[in-house]
Every structure is written in C-alpha cells, then in structure tokens.
Amino acid sequence: MSSSIENSHFLLRRLHSLLGLVPIGAFLVFHLWENSQSRFGAAHYNDEVVGALQGLNYLLVFELFLIALPLLFHAGYGLVILRHGRAEPRRYGYLRNRLYWLQRLSGVGLILFLLLHVGLTRIAGLFDPAISADLFGHMQRALMQPPVFGLYLVGLLLAVFHLANGLATAAIVWGLTTSAEAQRRFGWVCAGFGLLLAAMGVHGLLGFLIAPGAGGGA
Amino acid sequence: MQAQTPSDSPACETVELQIRRQHGPTSRPYWQTFACPVRPGANVVSLLMDLREHCVTQDGTRVDPVAFEHNCMEEVCGACAMLINGSPRPACSALIAELEAPIRLEPLPKFPVVRDLMVDRAALFAHLKQVKAWIKLDGPWDVHERAPRVSPKEWQANYLYSRCMSCGCCMAACPQFGPQFGPEATFVGPAPLAQVRLMNAHPTGRYDKAERLHAIMADGGLSDCGNAQNCVRVCPKAIPLTTAIGELGRETTLQAFKDLFGPH
C-alpha cells in the first residue's frame, strides 16, 4: 500500500537532502559565525568561542549525532548518487547544468578538504591537548602559510557553494518552488545567502591573520 | 530565365553534411561527409530524403542510403529527433537556412542505435508504463456520469503537458538518464514524469494519483532527478518539465506524509 515507505529509495534520497540542510548546513552557518569572531584575538576566541563550546555538556554526543554521522551519511550517499549521473557541462552550457556539475565536483572536493580539516584540528586535538587549549594559535600558525590559507579559502568557498546551491535544488526536490519564476527567484535568494556566508567565512579566515595577540601582534 | 538575387536563391547552394553512421546495433560508428544541394525552405529531413535518392559522399563514393526515421514533418510525432550540431532536436523543424554549416548529424544519444540515425526508443515507452502514464476508463464502477468540468485555467496548464510527443530529446540531454547506469535502476526521465503530472490532473486519472506517485517514488523515480534542467531547455515543445518536477516534488512530499501518518 505504502510503497514509498516499503521502498527505501525515496526516503534515503530525502534523508540525504534533509541532512544536508539540517543539521549539516545549519552547522556550517554556526561554524562560520563562530570563526568570524577570530579578529577579536586569541583571548576572546580561545575563552569565549572555543572555550564555551568545549564546556558544553554532552558535547561528544552533539558532535557525533549532529555533525559526524549526518556528514558521513551525506558524503557516502552522495558518492553513491554521483555514480548515477554524467554531467556534460560543455555540450549543455546552461547555468543549472553547470551548477549540477559543480555541485558534484564541490562535494568530492569537500570530502577531501574535510578529512584534512577535521584531522588537523579536532582529531589532532585529541592527541595533543596543546592544540585544543590554544586553538587560535594553532590555526593562526597554520593560516600564516600561504598554501594552507589557499586550501582553507578553497574549502570554505566549496562548502558555501555546496550549501547555497543545495538549498536551491532542495527547494525544487521538496516542492517549495515549482514554477520556473519561483525557482529562478529563490535561486537568487540562495546566491545572496551564499555570498553573505562566503563574506562571513573569508572575514573569519582573515581575522586569524590580523587579530591582536598571540604570535602575530598588531 | 530570370536571375534570382543571392538572398533567395539557395537552390544552387550546397551544404556540407557530416553524418555519424553505424551499420547495426553492435557495429562501430563511422563518419561520412556529403555535399547536399539545398532547396528553398529545406529542413534536415527533406535534405536526408534528397540524399537518399543520390547517396554519394563528398569524395564521389556511392554508399548505402542513410537510415533515419521521420513521419509527420510538422513537429508533432517526435520520430525524427536526432543530434543536430550537438543538440537534440526534431530534424523536421531544423531548417537548413538557420543551421551553421557544416551540419553534423548524429543519432539521439542514450538510446541504442538501430542503424545510422535510427534509434530504439523502447526505453521511453517502458518508462511511461513504469509510471502508469495512462487513464483507466473502465473499472468496477459505473461510468454513467459525464466528464467532470475542468476550469479553463487548469485546462491551460494541463494542455502544456499534453503536447509531449515522446521524441526523447529531454532524455537525451538529461545527465541522470542513460543505459550506462544499469538497465534496472535507470532514471525514468523527464518526459514520463511530466505525463504523471498530466495524468494526475485529469478528472478521471486523478483516481490513480497515489498509485502513480508511488511508482515515481521507487527506484529510478523522481528522486533520481539531479535538477540539471537541461530537459526544459532542449524540449522542442516548450513543455515546462521542471515545473512538473517541482510540482511532483510537492506531491510526493505530501504522499510520503500520508504514507507515514495516514490517511492513506
């Protein structure tokens, strides 16, 4: 009777879409907001931003169930979806088709970036308490190196693009936007949202370099 | 004899035609070039018909006539769809005067080639069956009532989808559709989805709405759409395929809620 429930296909695809927005997309916004406070310096960042989060009760549970597992599912299932399509961005140079191609490209790029990013901060922090004690100094030293800064900039832009474009297509998938005009209008809203988020992220990255205090000095 | 001005005398002109040919479904494709005289108002089908009478390549070799399909010559049957200069479109409405020379003709991609420019579009019809794109007129109930009335506004929206001629252009351009992704789990494609939108809006067809929605919520259904939206760009009948996909997205969201929480 209810083949949509008995057949997991539909539910898995919708779960993949939903998790991309909440909690992963929501976490990205929160993460970039937190890091945009880097320019207030080491003391503020280590105590008020990172310290407050580290002191959260049940932090590990949140990290596991709100970030790690949804992200693993989204990335893993995304790779499965990737196998069932072949973009031809050159033959069909339409904007949406290029975005379709970029969405898949950015997804794969993000998996590589996140392995590095999470490994060098959260995982490394597990083994070296000095990293989690002074995350500001750790990040500042890393971002001072132009290749690392470049890598973070690319990773940031990939993540923001993937979320903003994902939001636009999720609106079609879930049936929020149906008419071509609505889809185009919401596309611009998502583009604006992406630009805002990218600006906040870049501001956060630069903040590590211009902030007063530890290592740098201003 | 009166001399014609160059602008309206394409009769003496020839156009270079490059055709990707293939003897059979499993043989290797190869290219052949022809220099075809162009008559005024010629389209790709009429050019291929002329070529059939005198099938000689540019270097003077007589070759087998090029196999191709055509029927209505007025862009309503969909039989002559092929790749023209890299774009999927019906050949009968592709006017030579409006095409960039040399004209490259290839069989419609994603469908198995029968011979030359002829492809087997059985997959399209199999997918129409898969999504139950028909309306049950007879049932265990009495059908004594006259057809229910449809508002002009609704009729106008539905009419757009009724223009589909199953040419397969939208499927050819779809990055998610293709035999290369496995014969079973392949995406049904935009055209069958648009027919679900049409049949579900039909006064009698709506009785089987949930059944059709369930069909497109299974493997290869609506959720396999990647929103690349090439379909709506290449559709020769300007069918709002992506609007249908958005509307079906909403319908399937509601259907999933009904399946999960009732009422069925």
Chain position carrying tokens 């997918």: B127
Q: Which residues in chain A are closer than 8 Å to B213, comparing Cβ atoms?
A: 4
Min Cα separation A170/chain B (Å): 9
Q: Give residue A218's pLDDT.
A: 38
Q: How confident is the model at residue B137 (pLDDT cuts 50, 70, 90)?
A: confident
Q: Give residue B263's pLDDT.
A: 86
Distance between CA atoms of residues A26 and A60, nearest Å? 18
Chain-centre distance of CA A130, in angstroms?
26
Chain A interface mutation, best of B243, B248, B255, B258, highest count of A Cβ atoms under 10 Å: B243
Complex-level ipTM: 0.92
Full set of structural domains in chain B with CATH:
9-119 (3.10.20.30), 122-261 (1.10.1060.10)
Chain-centre distance of CA A40, in angstroms?
23
Angstrom CA distances, A83 to A136, A184, B185, B186, B189, stand at 40, 28, 12, 11, 16
Q: Is B37 on the interface with A (CB under 8 A)?
A: no
Q: What is the pLDDT of residues B190-242, one digit of tens each?
A: 999 999 999 999 988 998 999 999 999 999 999 999 999 999 999 999 999 99
For A:15-34, CB contacts with B below 8 A are none
Chain-centre distance of CA B5, in angstroms?
38
Between chains, do A2 and B228 touch, taking CB under 8 Å as contact? no
Kindly report the average pLDDT of chain A as a whole number. Answer: 93
Q: Give residue A97's pLDDT.
A: 97
Closest of B78, B88, B26, B21 to residue B48, by C-alpha: B21
Of A80-84, B108-112, B143-147, B217-221, which range is least confident? B143-147
* Torsion, CA B188, CA B189, CA B190, CA B193, rounded to 10: 0
Q: What is the pLDDT of residues B67-114, one digit of tens each?
A: 999 999 999 999 999 999 999 999 999 999 999 999 999 999 999 999
Q: Rounded to the nearest 5°, which phi and psi values hold at A26?
A: -60, -40
Our CA angle for A30, A33, A35, nearest 5°, is 110
Q: What is the pLDDT of residues B8-41, one digit of tens each?
A: 444 568 999 999 999 999 999 999 999 999 999 9
| A146-173 helix and A180-210 helix, angle to the nearest 10 degrees | 160
B198 contact partners, CB below 8 Å, separation of at least 6: B133, B158, B161, B162, B164, B205, B244
Asked if residue B183 has pLDDT above 90, the reply is no
Asked if residue A2 has pLDDT above 60, the reply is no
Distance between CA atoms of residues B200 and B213, nearest Å? 9
Length of chain A as a residue count: 218
Kindly report the average pLDDT of chain B as a whole number. Answer: 92
Encoding tokens for residue A86?
């072949």
Full set of structural domains in chain A with CATH:
3-210 (1.20.1300.10)
Between chains, do B229 and A97 touch, taking CB under 8 Å as contact? yes
Half-sphere exposure of B134 (CA within 13 A, CB side): 10
Asked if residue B115 has pLDDT above 80, the reply is yes
Chain A interface mutation, best of B130, B217, B253, highest count of A Cβ atoms under 10 Å: B217
Q: Give residue B262's pLDDT.
A: 86
Length of chain B as a residue count: 264
Distance between CA atoms of residues A133 and A130, nearest Å? 5
